[in-house]
Amino acid sequence: MTEKELTVPSELAGNRLDAAAAALFDLTRSAVQGLIEKEALLVNGKSADKKQKVKEGDVLLLLLPDPEPCDVLPQNIPLEIVYEDEHLAVVNKPKGMVVHPAAGNPDGTLVNALLYHLDSLSGINGVLRPGIVHRIDKNTSGLLMVAKNDKAHLHLSGQIKEHSFFRQYECIVIGRMKEPTGEIDAPIGRHPVKRQQMAIVKDGRQALTRYEVLGEYAGFSHLKCTLYTGRTHQIRVHLSSIGHPILGDSLYGGGSTPFEKKHGALLTEQTLHAKTLGFIHPATGQYMEFTSKLPDYFKKLLEILKNN
């Protein structure tokens, strides 16, 4: 069993225990609720209810159980492993692959592939998400870092919480940007009506994205985006909010231009690639950074735009 102790800061005071612990330990709220039910999350040394409000200075002790037997089956799915050691792995997820099993996607996921190709995975996020420290959307390609044990998982998720995890993406957006560089600082939360979407909402979680124009074409721009927070659909929501939805992103305003209709065979939702990933190695303390090439469909779209 692994133990981790953190103190509630002033900005989380007044929140429900499950919400505050999820933010502090960088776990899903459902995972935290499961730990609370098992009395594996203590407040000031005592068991607590998930709905109770936490106070500044409360000490939360997380007791991480040994990994449960996994019902998700390993599958021999081709997987590009960019780097691997005894603590972690970096993989290059293809566009169209779901990260972990869920309703509608019981198998064929990245987790199924990881269970086949790697000798161990962390168990903090439960049996459906072993090893998964952070996620990218099904139709976003690129680099993901995977934890092979709980100690590495906690260290790496802590870096995400502290915003010291470096993540840089490339995308193609509709329209030409007014400025060559820019910053979008707007809170993101669940859309109040369209529950499958995220949106800029007043009481959402703080989210910051910086972008740089890499190329401009007739009606489109090629951008590099750096994440300083990691909210669900962050880049997609932020760029859509300033009038530049990502090419092919039908959920957030893309997908209907003449160019997209003409080249629909190349566009399976958003043209977004997680290109660069950097972090401090949990065992050595050394900074590591990895970069992946743009996928073929992305390069083909750029070539078409350049020749238009």
SS3 151: helix
Beta bridge partners of 80: 92
The number of CA neighbours under 13 Å toward the Cβ of 49 is 3
Q: Which residues are catalytic?
A: 137
- CB–CB of 125/27 below 8 Å? yes
As beta bridge partners, residue 90 has 83, 145
Q: Select from 26, 20, 31 the least CA-distant residue to 60.
A: 20
Closest CA to 69 of 133, 110, 149, 126: 126
Instruction: Tell me if 111 sits within 8 A of 147, measured CB to CB.
Output: no
Q: Which two tokens stand for residue 185?
A: 């600082």
Contact 215, 200 (CB under 8 A): no
Q: Which amino acid is at 84?
A: E
